[in-house]
Structure 1
Amino acid sequence: MEQRINRGVNMKDDIRAKFNDVSQVYDGQRRQLIPCFDDFYHIPVSLIEPVTERPKILDIGAGTGLLTSFFIEKIPTAQITLIDLSDQMLEMAKRRFSDIPGVEYIVDDYAQYDFQQKYDMIISAFSIHHLSDEEKIKLYHKCYSILNPKGIFINCDQVLGETPYLDSLNKTHWRESIEKSGLSQADISAAYDRTKLDREAPLSQQLIWLKEAGFTDVDCVYKWYFFAVMMGRKV
């Protein structure tokens, strides 16, 4: 048990360090590293219908606030909370939202953090796949518990292929795409290196976990190879 806990702590330290290192160039590389960028970031926004004039949005693993920025375009009155392990990524988010008052920034591990309020929307992009399966399950239960009634949870993330063949197909296609993206070889190598931190789970399994956590209307609303947008509602 102690060895497993230490491994988890060490991995969180590695995640923090690697994303601190890439914080300055992270946003600029998104389109090259995510071939389906436009659909991947705009479809989640199309899913939401605010239930209040000033809905509370929690972005877990928020990084530079890129996903949140699309939500703010649709709901400029939203109350925003961003949480991430990487202080440097959140520094970039503070620059992005410098003209928006009242944004809350939390430098912490959202899988362990004790949230003291409830939210109308919980969103996430490219973060939950860093958690172990056990942590994912606990997080989905936590997200359900801190959502208000009629709240929505949206997870835009990488998923493991349903079979080894499909996973290999997905990853091969992604590698072929980014090799032609125009990124420097150093940036591509750094992206490959960050995949060592990935602990993806199959999409089908994660949809089951969301249902078991209590969510209804659970679905994958978009998928491009191993990029998937999952959702669930609390009714």
Structure 2
Amino acid sequence: MEIRDEVRRNFDKVAQEYDGQRRKLIPCFDDFYQAGVSMAESNTISPTILDLGAGTGLFSSLLLQRYPGAKVTLIDISEKMMEVTRLRLQGFNTITYVVDDYTNYTSSEKFDIIISALSIHHLSDADKLKLYNNTYSNLKDTGVFINADQVLGHTPFIESLYKEDWRNKVEVSGLSRDELDSAYERTQLDRMAPLHTQLDWLQQIGFSDVDVVYKYFNFVVLYGRKSI
């Protein structure tokens, strides 16, 4: 089965329970997401926002608290996850939902802010690079890209420490055995790339002010800006 079909199948299966589990599966949950929201600066109070791999719409919902008048486009491969998103954002009337593979997504409309959370690490390195190129093209001048995601440890030893720390914390998080086993199964879909590799890609593509603005073991928030 193609990896994208496998990703879709797994996230369709857990869509209804996903939000309830996420805080327990991300030990740094609050700081992780708030770092991304804090970096989402815009010169307008009603920015256009694109959410890549939007899942249940959590990251977008946090940005909408900051920018209630934002026009948001959410794209995700899982119809079941998007159903949860529609319920979460039903009070907003400036939302566009796209059920599709975002890897090759290009738009005639340019965006002030492009975000992604815990999704791009499922892509192959070639598709990550393609997506980052498309993201740069899809941004307005001075627009910003924020990717809150997971990265591979830069050595096998460091990667083993990351995995051990995460497993130790989620094992005492209160999740059931079935929930933990499902989460471990989903990690088999991970295709993470090292942090320094992705920072280099962003700079080579043309992003300026590229930085990692938050890091907790393998959970990171990457930032880049499209210069004029």
Q: Aligning the two structures, in what range does the TM-score lie when normalised by the shorter sequence?
A: over 0.9
Deviations 1:59-114 (A, max 9, x none): 00000000111111101010000000000101100000111002100000000233
The answer to whether the 8 Å contact 1:126/1:157 transfers is yes
Q: Does 1:109 align with 2:101?
A: yes
1:48 is aligned to 40
Q: What is the aligned counterpart of 2:142 among 150, 172, 178?
A: 150
Q: Cα offset for 1:53?
A: 3.1
Q: Structure 1 CA distance, aligned partners of 2:129 and 2:181?
A: 31
Q: Structure 2 CA distance, aligned partners of 1:229 and 1:49?
A: 15
Q: Structure 2 CA distance, aligned partners of 1:40 and 1:14?
A: 26
Q: Cα offset for 1:33?
A: 0.1
Counterpart AA for 1:209: W
Deviations 1:6-52 (A, max 9, x none): x7xx1100101100000001011111000000000111111122222
The answer to whether the 8 Å contact 1:51/1:150 transfers is no
Q: What is the aligned counterpart of 1:138 among 121, 130, 138?
A: 130
What are structure 1's unaligned runs of at least 5 residues? 1-6
Q: What is the aligned counterpart of 2:63 among 63, 66, 71?
A: 71
1:218 is aligned to 210
Give the secondary-structure state (helix, strand or coil) at the position aligned to 2:102.
coil
Q: Structure 2 CA distance, aligned partners of 1:69 and 1:25?
A: 17
Q: What is the aligned counterpart of 1:167 among 155, 159, 170?
A: 159
Give the secondary-structure state (helix, strand or coil) at the position aligned to 1:198.
coil
Q: Structure 2 CA distance, aligned partners of 1:93 and 1:213?
A: 31
The answer to whether the 8 Å contact 1:129/1:159 transfers is yes
Q: Cα offset for 1:213?
A: 1.1
After the TM superposition, which of the residue ranges 46-55 and 212-221 deviates more from structure 2? 46-55
Give the secondary-structure state (helix, strand or coil) at the position aligned to 1:111.
helix
TM-score computed with the length of structure 2 as normaliser:
0.98
TM superposition outliers: structure 1 runs of 4+ over 4 Å: none
2:11 is aligned to 19
The answer to whether the 8 Å contact 1:40/1:222 transfers is yes
Q: What is the aligned counterpart of 1:124 among 108, 113, 116?
A: 116
Give aligned pairs, total. Answer: 227
1:82 is aligned to 74
1:182-197 to structure 2, matched below 5 A, reads: 182-197=174-189
Give the secondary-structure state (helix, strand or coil) at the position aligned to 2:50.
strand
Give the secondary-structure state (helix, strand or coil) at the position aligned to 2:43.
coil
Q: Structure 2 CA distance, aligned partners of 1:49 and 1:215?
A: 16
Counterpart AA for 1:143: T
1:92 is aligned to 84
Counterpart AA for 2:23: R
TM-score computed with the length of structure 1 as normaliser:
0.95
The answer to whether the 8 Å contact 2:50/2:115 transfers is yes
Counterpart AA for 1:61: G
Counterpart AA for 1:40: F
Q: Structure 1 CA distance, aligned partners of 2:128 and 2:22?
A: 24
Q: Cα offset for 1:54?
A: 1.6
